[in-house]
Each structure stands twice: as C-alpha cells, then as structure tokens.
Amino acid sequence: MKKLALHWQILIGMVLGVVVGILFTYFDGGKEIVQDWIKPFGKIFINSLKLIAVPLILASLIKGVSDLKDISKLSAMGGRTIGIYIITTVIAVSIGLLLVNVIKPGNSISEKTRHELVDNYGESTTKYKEQAAIQKQSGPLQALVDIVPDNIFGAATDNKNMLQVIFFAILFGIGLILIPEEKATPVKKFFDGFNEVILKIIDLIMLAAPYGVFALLAALVVESPSVDLFKALIWYAFTVLLGLLLMITFYNLIVWAVTKKTPSFFLKGISPAQLLAFSTSSSAATLPVTMERVTEHLGVDEEVSSFVLPIGATINMDGTSLYQAVAAVFIAQAFGMDLTLGTQLGIIVTATLASIGSAAVPGAGMVMLVIVLAQAGIPEAGLALIFAIDRPLDMCRTTVNVTGDATVSMLVAKSIGKLGKPKVKDWDDNYPKK
C-alpha cells in the first residue's frame, strides 16, 4: 500500500484533532484531559521546530551568501527581495482596507456584544498593550538599531531576534566571499555539512508532524471561547478570510504570469508548508519545511531560497498586515468612528512597517496591531473585540505569510535565472504521468 503524502497526513491529523477536541468538550473534565495529556505533545512538536530555526538560518544563509562568490549578486538579490516584499505587503494592506470599507463588518457589532467582549478579554489585551507601549517609546530609527546585535550568542538564544541572526549570517557570508578562496573553503565545507545535518533533523522532526498538529488542534478547540462570541464576529472573520483568499489568488496569478508555473504546480509544491503554518501559527516554526518544499518541489535554487526565505519569515507578513488593516477599521466601525482617507493611508504605512517588525511567532500580530490602532487614534480597548477569534485567523494569515514567502522566492529566482526543475517531481499539469 502506497504511503500517504505528508500533507495528507497533516490534514488528517488536523481533522482528527478538531473532532477529538469537540468530543472532549461534551463531558466533564474533558478540557483538562486534553490540556494535560494531549496539548503537551503539540508543544513538544513546536519546540522541536523552533529548536532548529536559528541553526537552520545560520547554516543556510551563510552557505547561500558565500556561494554567490560575488558581492554584486548579493546586492542585486537583496534589493529585489526587499522591493518585492514591500510591494506585496502594500497590496495586502490595500486589499484589506478596500474589503473592510465595502463590507463594513463593524456595523454588525451590537453595544451589548461589544461590552461582553471587552469584559471577557480586557485582561488578555493588557500584555499586548504593555509590549506595544515599549516599542512606541522607541525612536524612529530603533528598528535599525535592533537589527545589529551586540552579542551574536545572545541573539541566537531568542527566536524573536531572528533579524539579528540574519544580519550576522549575511555579514559572515560576505566575509567568506572577500577572503582568499583557499582560506574560505574549509569554513564553507563545514557549513555545507552543518546544513545537511540540519536538513536531516528536519526530516526526522517532520515524521511527527501529523501527531503534533493533532495535539495542537485538539487543544485549540477545547480552549476556544463560547460560540456566541464567534457568531458576533462572523462578518469580521469573513472579511479577513476573503482578503486572505484574494492574496492567495494574487500569488498564484503572479507566479503563473512570471514563471509560467501553473497554480496546481505551485499549490501542490507548497501545501505541506501551508498546512503546517496553519496549525502552528508561526512562520519561523514552518521555515524549515518551507525551505525544503521551495527547493525540492518548486525548483528554486538553494542559493536563492536560503537567502530569500529566512528574510521573508521575519519581514514579509502579508497576511498579518492585511489582518491589521481590517481589524483597525473594524474596531473603529464598532465604536462608531468614521476614519478619513488620510487616516486610512496612515494605516497602510504603519501596518507595512509593523509587519516588517513583527516576530514570526504566534500572537505577534496582536502586539503590532496596538501600534496601528494608536496611530489611527482608535481606542486600544477595542483590541478585546477581536481577541476571541484571533487565534483561528492567526492560523489563516500565517498560511498566507508562508505562501507569500514562497511566491517571492520563485519571482527572485526567475529574475536571476535560478529557477529550474524540481528535484522531487510531484505529479501535476507540468509533469504529467507517463
């Protein structure tokens, strides 16, 4: 019997996790059983992925940069990567603002429901406000200061400092390019071998992916708030999901237009990473799988993927920025505020910058949203309006974030002649059965 593909195993794990979570909510003590005996396996799975995030970026990015052999190539690739990431983010925010102004989901929130949500989730928003307040007190160039670590070992101990690790890896790779080849070769061979070891560890960890996803989804279901609160936010969720769907469509169209690869080819290649992103809500945790799928199944040269994807996991948050735009206007509508065109243009700029500074971990979007709300003059207490349904939407927007990273890697690879045939050929329109 043919073994099920990884993405089907993950999908089955997701479905079973939801079913088990629902079943355990119907009897006393069910929630506690899931939290005590099932949820820990999900945490173990997430921790194992985060464990290799920093080593993966160090190994792959140093290898990728040093393999360029020419500083001009690094400059060209870096400029195109950052430029495309910014463009797609602005497009995402604009789509979000357009939809939320047309659908007007905030008008469906009643005064009673708003007070109920604020009462239930007011305490949960406090920690996000405190973290955002620290960032708001920083100077305008603090983001640049934060990129350069004062201690690389300290930066490598916290996944939230991924930009600092990327900065060091790029600097290290440039150093290898500039020194004589005979001295650089032993170091490059070390990182080549180190990279292979990390990739093999990823293969081992992914064997447990269906079980980890099962545990994560079961825990999410039993810990969800009441159904009535979700019903009150149905139009808001619909607006966000419609925007995210449009972004997925946009990615497929641009990949097809630029690379001539069919949507079925692209989606089949990236689907395991999308499903893992959906279940983990973390671009950083999904990064190892994203890199493997883009390189092995989409045909992007490792030189490109090892450079573009780690940067994308940190600064390219299209799904997050779209959600921030919708959430900000939704909260304003719920409070009866009429935002001007200038204010909404300010949201585009702030959400774009906030998405660049947003950590690739679950819940980071909430922190940056407080800054977007403050810039637009929207009451920060409104954060409680969307807290109840944030986690499921976080799962969806992380899927878009990862898809956007894969899209940009293909566009950059195509632009510099580094997009070839996949090493592993999934059956699709491009590779028909013989």
Express each pLDDT in 172-231 by its tens digit. Answer: 988 988 888 899 899 989 988 988 888 788 778 878 888 988 888 888 778 765 555 566
Query: What are the structural domains, with CATH classification, of the chain?
Result: 6-415 (1.10.3860.10)
**Measured between alpha carbons, how far is residue 32 from residues 35, 38, 42, 218, 420 in Å?**
5, 10, 15, 12, 50
Dihedral angle of Cα 229, 132, 399, 343, to the nearest 10 degrees: 80
Q: Is the pLDDT of residue 121 over 70?
A: no
- Sequence-distant (≥ 6) Cβ neighbours of residue 378 within 8 angstroms: 328, 331, 332, 335, 337, 339
- Enter the pTM of the model: 0.68
Q: pLDDT grade, residue 2 (50/70/90)?
A: low
Displacement of CA 40 from its chain's centroid (Å): 23
Beta pairing partners, 419 = 300
CA distances from 291 to 72, 115, 304, 310 (A): 24, 44, 10, 9
Which pLDDT score is estimated for 190?
Answer: 92
Mean pLDDT over 61-83 rounds to 75
Which has the higher per-residue pLDDT, 411 or 1? 411
| Rounded Cα–Cα distance for residues 289 and 203 (Å) | 9
33-48 confidence digits (pLDDT tens): 998 999 899 888 878 8
With beta carbons less than 8 A apart as the criterion, state whether 50 and 202 touch.
no
Mean pLDDT of 363-372: 64
pLDDT of residue 334 exceeding 80, the answer is: no
List CB contacts of 323: < 8 A, sequence separation 6 or more.
96, 240, 243, 244, 365, 369, 393, 397
Mean pLDDT, rounded, for 329-344: 79
Tell me what the mean pLDDT of segment 227-247 comes to: 81
pLDDT at residue 144, rounded to an integer:
73
What are the backbone angles phi and psi of residue 419, rounded to the nearest 5°?
Answer: -105, 115
Longest dimension (CA), the chain: 72
- Convert the pLDDT of each residue in 374-405 to its tens digit: 767 776 666 766 765 777 788 898 899 999 99
**Mean pLDDT of all residues belonging to the chain:** 79
pLDDT value at residue 417: 86
- Residue 141 exposed, middle or buried by CB count within 10 Å (0-12, 13-18, 19+): exposed
- Answer yes or no: are the C-beta atoms of 266 and 298 closer than 8 Å: yes
The Cα 365–Cα 359 span in angstroms is 8
Residue 241: pLDDT band (50, 70, 90) is very high
pLDDT at site 242? 96
Least confident residue range of 26-30, 175-179, 220-224, 357-361 = 357-361
Q: Residues near 247 by Cβ (< 8 Å), separated by ≥ 6?
A: 91, 92, 95, 318, 319, 322, 400, 403, 404
Smallest CA-to-CA distance from 259 within 304, 218, 223 is with 304
d(Cα 350, Cα 257) in Å, to the nearest integer?
30
Q: What pLDDT shows up at residue 431?
A: 40
pLDDT greater than 90 at residue 419: no
Instruction: Using pLDDT thresholds of 50, 70 and 90, give the confidence band for residue 253.
Output: very high
pLDDT at 246: 96
